[in-house]
Amino acid sequence: MEPNWRNLVDSKIVPKIAHLDLSGKLTQITDFSPGGTYGDICKGCCSIDEHGVVRVMKVAIKRLRYYMTGDNIKHLFEKEIYAWKRLKHDNILQLLGFAFDHEYPLLVSEWMEYGSARKYIEDHQDTNVMHLVAGIARGLAHMHAQNVIHADLKPDNIVISSMGEALICDFGCSRAIDASLSLAEPTLGLKGTCRYFAYELLQPDSKGHTKQTDVWAFGVTAYELLVRQHAYKGLTYLQTVMAIQQGCLPCSSSRPNSFPNINQEVGNLVMDICLFCWKHDPLERPTMNFLASNLDHYLLMQEKPSSRRRLTGADESAFHDLSEKVVTVEREKREQDNAFNKEREEYKAEITRLKLELQKSSGLVDQERERAEILTQEVHSLKAQNESETTACRILEQQDSERLADVEELRRVQAEAFTEAINSTHAVQTLKRELLHIRDQHEEVKKLEATHTKKVEQLLSTQTEALQGLAEARERGEDLRAQIEAARNENATAKRAFREVSEQREQLLHTQALEHDRIMRDCIAEADGDRAALEHWLVEAHAQREGHERQLKEACARIESLHADAVGLREELQKTERELQVARHAGRVGRNDLCEGRAPQSDCEQKAADRDHLVVQILDVAVAFRDCHTKAFATLQSVPVYPAVTRNDVNLSEPVVLSPPQSSTSPLCEDAVQIDPKDPTTALEILRSHDLELFSETVAKVGSIVRRWQKQCKEYRERAKGKITFRNFAKGDLALFLPTRGSVSRSWAAFNVLYPHHFLNVDGRLAEHLKHREWLVARITSISERIADTKDPTGNPYGLGDRMKYHVLEVEEPLFR
């Protein structure tokens, strides 16, 4: 059957999976058992070649059902292996290969001892369900990223690895979303398990399995792992179908009160995910990528002890809001995709229409081509008539052309002779070059012959050594033969010695048997004497037993009297226990009354503590407000005071500095009284002493002064436009340098009203000279451009803004001393 199956497999698939062929490598195959909708599973062993090392490992072998026809099996085999081989993920069972060793094709994967997820959670009650659900989400998200739909996701199709990781398997119903291959076409009818069908799959306008139906099945799978029971529990197949069609959810209630062996917080979170996956509108369901990322984030938060906390109502509401936003964004994206697909379909229809028009045009072109051929034939007939008429003219012209041909022939012979001479010269040169090339090749051949001769000599020497080794091996073989013959002789001698020893042993055993018979008779005689002694001892034992029976009767009488005393004591004990119960009930009632009395007291204490805490917070805000006012007044008072100037006295050669508002009676001072929030009364008195009206007036004054400053600065700029403004200093220019004001270090700059970024390089004698000067006129010798860098201490010597451009000027000796 193997050649037939190889011929049935599609030619597009075979080259891609040829390296996965494990035919002839499967051993120890057990009986097949049902393992899915279209296949049976068994256990076996397989020899795997890993980098030249053959390793035997346990494998799971899947065989397609025997009742399927050849075409169906071919289609299922191609579809499953195409969908399975392209999936490489830590949470997806890896395909090792395929084989044709039996009647039907086999798919081979690694054997998992823990079995399915359903069996695993039954055997391991303390399983971390959240970890399994997150692994399933990651695997399914990878499948959707590869445009593969599982279409039959359930706990039975999820196996658990030796590390406790969930692995998705059984891709018999999977479908690749890829229009380039025929395998991507959806099959007719619904396949899979009904209990995991989404709501839209059983509707009249169903489009078959999609990524959204996989999300629904993921929610059902997570729910079954959480509650450890089947979805739609207690319903038959038809009842389940009716429930799904009517929109019933897989769980009996919206949220169970408790979960088996699972924390209530984790259970509530998994139930929220399930309800999120069971939205009736497929566009409102989350994507598997979104679920996988959120579950991984939750597991990461659980693994970090510092980040473990219980979700509050605000966190849950924020999570739901975020989920709804994500659903809205995904719905908009799907709508955009639908619009794009619709537009693409329109374009395809337009292309089809244009193709039809092109075909019609092609038909018209063919008709025109036929008419053109008819016209061409008519033209050819007219040409034939024209040629017959011109034949006579050609006969007359031929005589003249013959004479001219003779002349041309003589010229051609002369030209050919000249050309042959030139060609002969070129041929001689070409032959010389070929001769040199042949000589070079001859030298290379000689070198190769020498190399081959050396190799032959080496081979001959190797052959000689091999023959010598063979001769030595033959000699060793002869020696071994001699040793074997000697060993055979020794073996024959040993056999003879063994027979002799056997005869001696038999004689010795016979002698020992006679000796044992004699000893046995002696033992029987001694046993008879012992029996008489034992009979005498038995008589004495009977007498002792009678005495013990009398003592036993006396002990029973004493026990009965003690039992009567115990009954009386038991009655007294029951009476005491009843009194103790009454006392305990009275104590319990008293404690309840005490607790009921303490509850109002604790409520009052809690309210008082809350009020005290609120007062402390209010005082903290007030103190912060007062400290802010203090800093504001301190900032205003720290502004340097300069004499104010009037508008008419403004001298544009000197900078104008306006005085800030000064308050002789500042409401706050540097040594303001510290406020203790724990003493509300004193803190309130100190805060009341803060003059808010004076602060408001000060703020208003500062605002008016700032506006007046802005107006004066505007006038200053307008007046400065007519003054000296020169940007482009050059080498050889004569410049006036003045000391700058307000800089970090005392520096000198070229006089320039609106572009004061040309600084004088002060060093050496010039620095000593400028210590006693207020101005300097000098000629510029060089200009270097630089950029201020606040991160480098030496990159900003003039205290400019970061990345600001400035120039450093070198000058000659001063002109005025």
Segment of 87-91, 337-341, 578-582, 623-627 carrying the highest mean pLDDT = 87-91
Amino acid identity, position 569: L
Closest to 218 measured CA to CA, from 134, 151, 153, 143 = 153
Give me the pLDDT at residue 184, please: 36
pLDDT at 723 over 60: no
For residue 19, what pLDDT band results from cuts at 50, 70 and 90?
A: confident
- Looking at residue 101, its pLDDT comes to 63
The H-or-E segment that residue 544 falls in is helix 313-637
Identity at 500, one-letter amino acid code: E
> In this model, does residue 115 exceed pLDDT 80?
yes
Rank 230-234, 415-419, 512-516 by mean pLDDT and report only the highest: 230-234
DSSP symbols for 453-481: HHHHHHHHHHHHHHHHHHHHHHHHHHHHH
Query: For 734, phi and psi rounded to 5 degrees?
Result: -95, 125
- Alpha-carbon distance of 410 to 639, in angstroms, equals 117
Spatial distance between the Cα atoms of 566 and 572, rounded to a whole number of angstroms: 10
Taking the CA atoms of 747, 748, 753 and 758 in sequence, report the sign of the dihedral they define: negative
Label residue 16 by pLDDT band (50, 70, 90): low
pLDDT of residue 215: 95
Kindly state the average pLDDT of the residues 641-665.
Answer: 45
pLDDT in tens, 352-377: 888 888 888 777 777 877 877 887 78
Task: Please give the pLDDT value at position 542.
Answer: 79
Beta partners for 748? Answer: 739
Mean pLDDT in the chain? 77
Percent of the chain topping pLDDT 90: 7
Q: Is the pLDDT of residue 470 over 50?
A: yes
Q: Is the pLDDT of residue 268 over 80?
A: yes
Give 662's contacts (C-beta < 8 A, 6+ positions apart).
Answer: 637, 641
Amino acid letter at 568? G
Percent residues over pLDDT 70 in the chain = 79
Burial class (CB in 10 A: 0-12, 13-18, 19+), 296: middle
Q: Where are the domains of the chain?
A: 1-111, 126-146+156-310, 639-720, 734-811
Is the pLDDT score of 446 beyond 50?
Answer: yes
Which 3 state secondary structure label does DSSP give 813? Answer: coil
Q: 139 pLDDT band (50/70/90 cuts)?
A: very high
The arithmetic mean of pLDDT across residues 63-74, rounded, is 59
pTM for the full model? 0.41
Please provide the DSSP assignment of 638-689 as one string. TSPP-----STT--TTS---PPPP--SS-S--TTPPP--TT-HHHHHHHHHT
Q: Is pLDDT of 378 > 80?
A: no
Asked if pLDDT for residue 174 goes beyond 70, the answer is no
pLDDT confidence tier of residue 287, bands split at 50, 70 and 90 = very high
What is the domain class of 1-111 according to CATH?
A: alpha beta
Confidence of residue 700 (pLDDT cuts 50, 70, 90): confident
pLDDT in tens, 668-682: 444 556 777 667 777
Predicted local confidence at residue 804, as pLDDT: 85
Please give the average per-residue pLDDT across 455-470, as a whole number.
76
At 407 the pLDDT is 67
| CATH match of 126-146+156-310 with 1.10.630.10 | no
Strands 106-110 and 53-64: antiparallel
What mean pLDDT comes out for the span 781-787? 89
CB-based contact 170:192 (threshold 8 Å): no
Residue 712 predicted with pLDDT over 80: yes
pLDDT of residue 51: 67
